[in-house]
Amino acid sequence: MAKRKTKFVCQECGYESAKWMGKCPGCNNWNTLVEEIEASSKRGQHIFSGVSKGASKPESITAIESQEEPRITTSMKELNRVLGGGIVMGSLVLIGGDPGIGKSTLLLQVSAQLADKQLPVLYISGEESTRQTKLRADRLGIRSDLLYVLSETNLFDISNQVEKIKPAFVVIDSIQTIFKEEVTSAPGSVSQVRECTSELMRLAKTNNIPIFIVGHVTKEGAIAGPRMLEHMVDAVLYFEGERHHTFRILRGVKNRFGSTNEMGIFEMKEEGLREVMNPSEIFLEERSQGTAGSTVVASMEGTRPVLVEIQALISPSSFGNPRRMATGIDHNRVPLLMAVLEKRVGLMLQNQDAYIKVAGGVKLDEPAIDLAIAVSIASSFRDRPTKPDDIFIGEVGLTGEIRRVSRIEQRVQEAAKLGFKRVICPENNLDGWTPPTSIEVIGVRTVQEALETSVEQ
């Protein structure tokens, strides 16, 4: 008998080695190399010996006909927005998120909505039995004869059921539990995840069936398995939010059929996930009036403007090195803006602890929120509240200047719709458009000028 060949594969990055090593050279993680049996296959030995009969030929890009991808629209407008207008036929979509965040609930609700439209749906659960899935469906009030539930982890049996039922939509929950018999490693390993995803991609493309797969996440928040997994699929969606908060955010980080900047907001209820059609009003409904350190910013999430409250707490430090903590924004941005306030405005913040938070569990990463953060820090330090009807928009430079931002019209219109009276924004953004008559737009050039305009006398 031929000797079986073994290899060691990193479970984090997919690096392969002929011998075991304590530290992976690919990702520098410790104790991630796992021994796997190398599959013996003669396929591919003569790959360059000749041209295959069915080889495709290059075409001129002007000769290729342009056409819209057919889509399936769900009853969730927020999901349709994140996907770029609906579910594309034959696409493979990966959804990741923390345990218990609501991934299975979301996909089960989407499956029921499509089944109600007389589309056969196959929901495959590798982690729960059919009775457990039924209990969740009863809690969500789902009753549809065209929603088929299968508890299976063998990829060969799953493929047979898909070929037999011919569903219009397939859910795999989750990819870490599915295994392929030809691969000798355990389910959830790099080799199994890679091979199973490749087989599901072939199944989706050949049968023109959209397939949604659920992926586990690591403690760092990234989807478990090789990074190649995100490159193989057509779209990658992250389901974010604090488990103890009711709001959930569905964010697209990759989408071959739409924008990657869109965001959908849901609220977790007892009967399942409910869409939040006006997130700005929800995020600001508990805002306290007349409190120092509170400002409102108009942030763009894809094509949608969202008004969010930013809170700051500045207090004297009891230690030699003051603390800088931030939730919902990049923590490196806080000391940068505090240095600008100290150098350009004259605020002595070097012995002050700073705590910054974005209310509602939202994560903001665009530069247009700089001015709101700087004003909230100054407001808390001086213990003087800002005017409650003010909106702050602008990027802060290291010299203290306020730089222009994109899509100022949409931000101002959203602020006017919610009843705000003034918008403090970069002066360079005032040209080329007409603001609504119900709101005053004030252009500023520096942080000092913005603070003089905003803080109540």
Q: What is the CATH number of the domain that holds 430?
A: 3.30.230.10
Within this chain, do residues 197 and 306 fall inside the same structural domain, yes or no? no
CA angle 212, 135, 215 (to 5 degrees): 25
Q: Work out how many domains the chain is built from and give that number.
A: 3
Nearest to 209, CA basis, from 249, 255, 158: 158
Are 252 and 347 members of one domain? no
Q: Is residue 223 located within the same domain as residue 301? A: no
Directed axis angle between helix 130-139 and helix 103-116, to 10°?
Answer: 80
Q: Are residues 244 and 302 in the same domain?
A: no
Flag whether 206 is in a domain.
yes
Same domain? 20 vs 107:
no
198 lies in a domain?
Answer: yes
Which residues of the chain are under the pLDDT cut of 70?
1-4, 39-55, 219-222, 224-227, 242-244, 455-457
Q: What is the pLDDT of residues 13-22, one digit of tens each?
A: 778 888 899 9
Give me the pLDDT at residue 246, please: 78
Annotated binding residues for ATP, as ranges?
A: 97-104
* Closest to 179 (Cα-Cα) out of 126, 118, 102, 112: 126
Residues 6+ apart with CB under 8 A from 318: none
Do residues 245 and 378 share a domain? no
Task: With respect to residue 54, please indicate whether it lies within any of the assigned structural domains.
Answer: no
Answer whether residue 375 is part of any domain: yes
232 and 96 in a single domain? The answer is yes
Residues 203-228: tens digit of each pLDDT: 999 999 999 999 888 766 667 666 67
| CB contact burial 131-146 (16+ within 10 A = b; e otherwise) | eebeebbeebebebeb
| Tens-digit pLDDT profile for residues 296-353 | 999 988 778 999 999 999 999 988 889 999 999 999 999 999 999 999 999 999 999 9
Q: Which pair of tokens denotes residue 453?
A: 């305009």
Of the three residues 277, 307, 338, the one that is the final residue of a domain is 277
Q: What is the pLDDT of residues 118-153, one digit of tens each?
A: 999 999 999 899 999 999 999 999 989 999 999 999
Nearest-angstrom CA–CA distance, 98 and 102: 9
Residue 2: the pLDDT is 55
- CATH number for the domain spanning 158: value is 3.40.50.300
**Domain for residue 252, yes or no?**
yes
The first and second tokens of residue 203, run together, are 């199944």
Task: Name the β-bridge partners of 446.
Answer: 401
Residues 143 and 231 in one domain: yes
Q: What sign does the CA torsion over 140, 145, 151, 156 have?
A: negative
> What pLDDT sits at residue 426?
96
pLDDT for the residue 455: 64
Q: Are residues 31 and 110 in the same domain?
A: no
Last residue in a domain, options 277, 304, 339: 277
Annotated binding residues, written as ranges, equal 97-104
Same domain? For 189 and 154 the reply is yes
Q: Would you give the distance in Å from CA 32 to the centre of its chain?
A: 26
Burial tier of 38 (Cβ tally within 10 Å: 0-12, 13-18, 19+) = middle
For residues 271 and 388, state if they share a domain. no
Task: Decide if 297 is inside a domain.
Answer: yes
- Domain interval for residue 415: 282-454
Q: Has residue 258 been placed in a domain?
A: yes
pLDDT of residue 401: 96
pLDDT of residue 46: 42
Q: The tokens 């050949």 sit on which residue?
A: 206
- Residues 255, 113 share a domain: yes
Domain-located, residue 63:
no
* Domain end residue (candidates: 231, 262, 277): 277
**In which region does residue 448 sit, left (phi positive, over 0), alpha (psi from -120 to 50) or beta (all else)?**
alpha
